[in-house]
Structure 1
């Protein structure tokens, strides 16, 4: 697909020669002012909630989290993995706001798309929804980094189904048959997923795919640093979580690396708490080792790099 060549006017208040608000270090004209095809590789960089956001965007099936805004108002805002119809935003009849993470991206900057959806929802009528963030949601460039508390992580709740889509009716009535059928269809595709409750560990999730169980752990470190640490552990035979939990590889998502381990399906998520805690200590030690890699560690790094795929 060829790069767009048409000029794009800067939003009101944006000087094309000034640094781009996304924090890339480039001039606005060479970054977000260049066109809709500009891709922000790490859209949530700078936020403490970055790993949580990546997990909710890429592999958590049904999860919600209160959105920690810089200036919280009277209207509660909840971030959700996916909303009915994969909507970008929903304003419930009581005025509360739901933002969807797993939506069709309009631009190459997911952070800006989410912030635009939030801005729309904050002025929309109760009982309305925004199917997609498109040209109709315009205005000055705003990103999640502009509206979220940068030091706050997300308090993620993983749900077993999509029952939270439908709030209880004030009159106690049951959902319509169409709504009930839609919920049943959505619930059928959920893969059982739970956080692994290990002390000091965030964004690590157990998932049962039906044929295998995995642990997926979103890591915040730069890829080169994390890969070197994993290589040190591999060279020492310490990369497995346990004897029956081998390292399967990793995938890249929104600028972060997500290591994956194959697990015994017979064990519950909570049974991986101790192995993950022990491994986390080994990993932190390896991350703090800044000595040059040995020959065996370099070979291990090259082998691990061959087990990586890129999702986003």
Structure 2
């Protein structure tokens, strides 16, 4: 009887090829990022999983208009600044003063946003002043790894928000040509946005949508647990942020749920810090109670209703 060929117990990355891929795709590692192409064609639903900055990165990718943050890179040859969006929606550029930027709101060439960003960061390491990376790709046969391989995964980030896109240009430089046109269009499209800073509140943003204001809050909890906790608060009448506010629904973005509340537009963004902190505490208490108190019939109906008010963003 012929002997079976031995299967490698670990890959070069230290991952068992038969185990689920760390990227969260649901596939085995050998059929995903452990494959010959490094998982270029795999759709990764949660590209920033494992990063302490996951929720903030999702906010910058999906709805924060103008923001920058220094990436907490490991052993990097130069500093790289992550930007919500760059001129002409470029994937990367080096400003006239030598500052290297990587854009987050860009078109991607693979199913793994983390992989694309890693390639853009590695481009920024060696790019020269004035260089522009219009788009990441096409695949060149190299395996850049993923953003998780380049960052300090335990480092949290606090993005700096800007009222416009003047930071695209170094101080004293005036835009011209296509950059000037792109800057004008980008500034005209900005919705006023502010971070809601309060103890225990992260990745929560106040947004002025014109006719009303919203709180958009990227939550790190698994979706089913979060929906159950939201339903519990809803049945108790505790799912708002005070008079004149209401829970509007939620959307999924890159594997996490983003609940949204309608707010009184007349109130300043800073006035929502206290209500958000209080809501956050109620939500954590509700999450903790799920271990010992199953949902009631009314809470289950509420959860089903909340689930019906969701959309998914890729």
SS in 2 for 1:259: strand
| Deviation, structure 1 residue 92 | 2.5
| Deviation, structure 1 residue 95 | 3.4
Sort the Cα spacing of 1:257 and 1:80 in 2 relative to 1 into closer, same or farther, 3 A: same
Sort the Cα spacing of 1:113 and 1:79 in 2 relative to 1 into closer, same or farther, 3 A: same
Task: Pick the aligned partner of 1:161 from 155, 159, 164.
Answer: 164
SS in 2 for 1:122: helix
Matches within 5 A, 1:255-274: 255-274=255-274
Partner of 2:114: 111
Matches within 5 A, 1:274-285: 274-285=274-285
**TM-score, normalised to structure 1's length?**
0.88
The 2-side partners of 1:255 and 1:268 are apart by 31
| Deviation, structure 1 residue 97 | 1.2
Task: Pick the aligned partner of 1:305 from 304, 307, 314.
Answer: 307
Partner of 2:45: 41
The 1-side partners of 2:81 and 2:102 are apart by 6
Partner of 2:138: 135
RMSD, aligned CA: 2.2
| Deviation, structure 1 residue 311 | 0.8
Partner of 2:127: 124
The 2-side partners of 1:148 and 1:247 are apart by 35
1:55 pairs with 2:62: no
| Deviation, structure 1 residue 166 | 0.5
Matches within 5 A, 1:69-88: 69-73=73-77, 75-88=78-91
Contact 1:120–1:137 (Cα < 8 Å) also in 2 = no
| Deviation, structure 1 residue 96 | 2.4
Contact 1:48–1:150 (Cα < 8 Å) also in 2 = yes
The 2-side partners of 1:48 and 1:301 are apart by 28
Structure 2: which 5+ residue stretches go unaligned?
Answer: 1-11
The 2-side partners of 1:86 and 1:231 are apart by 39
The 2-side partners of 1:177 and 1:140 are apart by 36
Partner of 1:223: 223
The 1-side partners of 2:286 and 2:100 are apart by 42
The 1-side partners of 2:271 and 2:312 are apart by 29
Q: Which of structure 1's runs of 4+ aligned residues deviate more than 6 A?
A: 13-16
Sort the Cα spacing of 1:241 and 1:235 in 2 relative to 1 into closer, same or farther, 3 A: same
Partner of 2:9: none
Partner of 2:193: 193
The 1-side partners of 2:303 and 2:124 are apart by 46
The 2-side partners of 1:256 and 1:23 are apart by 12
**TM-score, normalised to structure 2's length?**
0.88
Partner of 1:97: 100
The 2-side partners of 1:308 and 1:301 are apart by 11
